[in-house]
Amino acid sequence: KIYLKKIKNSKLNTFININKKKSIKDAKKADKIIYNKNNTILTGIPIAHKDIFVTKYNKTTAGSKFLKKYISPYDSFIIKKFNKFNMINLGKLNCDEFAIGSDNSNSYFKKVINYLDKLSIPGGSSGGSASAVSANLIPAATASDTGGSIIQPCSLCGVTGIKPTYGRISRFGMISFASSLDQAGIISNNAEDCGILLSIISGFDKNDNTSLNKNFEYFNKNLNKSLEKTIIGLPIEFFNQGLSIKIENKINDVIKIYKKLGVKFIDISLKKNKISNLTYDILSSIEVMSNLSRYDGIKYGKYNKKKKFLKNLIYNRNFNLGKEVKKRILKGLIYSSSKYYKNIYSKSLKFRYSIYKEYYNFFNNNILNCNAILIPIFSDLGYNIKSKNINNKMNDIFTISTNLSGLPSISIPCGYIKNKIYKKKNISFQIIGNYYKENKILNIAHKYQ
């Protein structure tokens, strides 16, 4: 009830739908379970979900006008898992339409506001999740990441968020943006909570053919392990160009703390990163064009019987999809057309492979034996609610290559900066780990926190 009250009084626009009655009912059920001592540590804990995960008992909009009344006939994989642990779903969180965007300005619903300064954008596309956790409207939230949608908003809102290895969490029931890049994750206040929640939603799912067939792991188990002998790489490309001195200073402080904990740092080079933005733009546009073709007024949306068939399709797509989404669909159509397919699509698949290979060699065939990579998340502080999209694409170079290669990463807050415009501007850093090594990056994050 306390959380529901806080959500109701909040003016941050983080929630699209709130589960008032159902959550009270579920909380009463959880009380009984606790009373009978049949509980786990998660019984009765409130959570909320990015509105990209389908749920049976309330609407799932994906931040789009197209789905504003849509109710799914089934629950997504992760929702089922949380239900099994009797966690209380307080509702669905605002996000960019179909998770496309970097600042939440693409949501059909009201714009989310960053809790930290009540002024700037919360980042995107999981801005509702990040700002709600930051404001303590919920202790944790689910989110998704295709090119930085967990890492970036966590940095802007000062919370911790993990994007695990691609395939670690089933995408069944997670509305698709670019399927080969999409990955679900957790946003919370610290690495420990992220680890606990990640443990229960990970695991093989036959309904997702990209799901990893790995044994169950407790991701919160090795959090206190010593960092002696840990080697972290610092890619020179991420530190030399255009990085704000204030951000650089904060990250240098982080490095000093880790050195005291026994970590050894080495300079490395990730040359392929410069082609990641271009590669992402092509591949994600083509995949979103294909995935969103289902929103046509026949399978989803409203079919107007008075209009002719083709007119109906055009009408539905034209009036119910947002500007940025339409832009991406058109880009995808052009990039994959017979004229450009070979030169653009095939080449970007090769680019993607080279990005993946560079990371793979770095982590697996390396005499340096690095355990993780540390990089910034934003190069500057130029984000506020009026001037959207400032350097959006430029900052994406810090996050996109982990999606293209499928590596796990975590966003960790490391202090505030104050100036005339921003009362409180959070700075975070990112730790990227080897495939399936979520344990290691959570351990590195926990030791810092």
Q: Which positions are catalytic?
A: 50, 125, 149
CB 164 to ligand GLN: min, Å: 14
Measured between alpha carbons, how far is 265 from 278 in angstroms, rounded to an integer?
A: 30
Q: Does position 125 bind ligand GLN by CB under 6 A?
A: yes
Q: Does position 93 bind ligand GLN by CB under 6 A?
A: no
Measured between alpha carbons, how far is 226 from 74 in angstroms, rounded to an integer?
A: 43
- Closer to ligand GLN at the Cβ: 146 or 426? 146
CB 109 to ligand GLN: min, Å: 17
Interacting stretch for ligand GLN, rule CB under 6 A, among 99-107, 167-175, 419-427, 430-438?
A: 99-107
Would you tell me how many other CB atoms lie within 10 Å of the CB of residue 142?
A: 29
Q: Does position 287 bind ligand GLN by CB under 6 A?
A: no
Q: Does position 291 bind ligand GLN by CB under 6 A?
A: no
Contacts of 71 (CB under 8 A, 6+ apart): 56, 58, 59, 60
Q: Does position 76 bind ligand GLN by CB under 6 A?
A: no
Interacting stretch for ligand GLN, rule CB under 6 A, among 34-42, 78-86, 142-150, 294-302?
A: 142-150
Judge contact between 4 and 26, C-beta under 8 A.
no
Could you say which of 91, 122, 148, 376 contacts ligand GLN (CB under 6 A)? 148
Judge contact between 303 and 318, C-beta under 8 A.
no
The residue number with the shortest CB distance to ligand GLN is 149
Interacting stretch for ligand GLN, rule CB under 6 A, among 146-154, 197-205, 249-257, 440-448?
A: 146-154
- Alpha carbon 366 to its chain's center: 29
User: How far lies 6's CA from each of 128, 164, 190, in Å?
Assistant: 15, 30, 21
Q: Does position 279 bind ligand GLN by CB under 6 A?
A: no
Q: Does position 138 bind ligand GLN by CB under 6 A?
A: no
Kindly compute the dihedral angle of the four CA atoms of residues 220, 222, 223, 228, in this order, to the nearest 10 degrees: -160
Give the footprint of ligand GLN on residues 2-61 (CB under 6 A): none
Judge contact between 112 and 125, C-beta under 8 A.
no
Measured between alpha carbons, how far is 347 from 283 in angstroms, rounded to an integer?
A: 10
Interacting stretch for ligand GLN, rule CB under 6 A, among 71-79, 94-102, 219-227, 309-317?
A: 94-102
Put residue 81 in one of left, alpha, beta given phi > 0 → left and psi -120 to 50 → alpha. Answer: alpha
Could you say which of 129, 146, 155, 320 contacts ligand GLN (CB under 6 A)? 146
Look at strands 46-50 and 425-433 and give their pairing: unpaired
DSSP string, 36-86: TT---TTTT-EEEEETTB--SSS---TT-GGGTT---SS--HHHHHHHHTT
- Alpha carbon 279 to its chain's center: 19
Q: What is the 3-state secondary structure (H, E, C) of 162-220?
A: EECCCCCCCCCCECCCCCCCCEEEEEECCHHHHHHHHHHHCCCCCCCCCCCCCCCCCCC
CB 268 to ligand GLN: min, Å: 25
- Closer to ligand GLN at the Cβ: 144 or 188? 144
CB 297 to ligand GLN: min, Å: 25
CB 316 to ligand GLN: min, Å: 23
Tell me the CB-side half-sphere exposure of residue 145, using CA atoms within 13 A. Answer: 38
One character per residue 382-401, x = contact with ligand GLN (rule: CB under 6 A): --------------x-----
Q: Does position 284 bind ligand GLN by CB under 6 A?
A: yes
CB 91 to ligand GLN: min, Å: 20
Q: Does position 161 bind ligand GLN by CB under 6 A?
A: no
Measured between alpha carbons, how far is 83 from 75 in angstroms, rounded to an integer?
A: 10
CB 161 to ligand GLN: min, Å: 12
Binding footprint of ligand GLN, residue count (CB under 6 A): 13
Q: Does position 238 bind ligand GLN by CB under 6 A?
A: no
Could you say which of 64, 104, 134, 149 contacts ligand GLN (CB under 6 A)? 149
Q: Does position 101 bind ligand GLN by CB under 6 A?
A: yes
Give the footprint of ligand GLN on residues 173-202 (CB under 6 A): 177
Q: Does position 99 bind ligand GLN by CB under 6 A?
A: yes
- Closer to ligand GLN at the Cβ: 33 or 334? 334
Interacting stretch for ligand GLN, rule CB under 6 A, among 40-48, 141-149, 207-215, 359-367?
A: 141-149
CB 38 to ligand GLN: min, Å: 38
Measured between alpha carbons, how far is 62 from 67 in angstroms, rounded to an integer?
A: 7
Measured between alpha carbons, how far is 150 from 161 in angstroms, rounded to an integer?
A: 6
- Alpha carbon 331 to its chain's center: 23
Q: Does position 100 bind ligand GLN by CB under 6 A?
A: yes
- Residue in 19, 48, 51, 20 with CA at minimum distance from that of residue 137: 48
Residue numbers at the binding site for ligand GLN (CB under 6 A): 99-102, 125, 145-149, 177, 284, 396
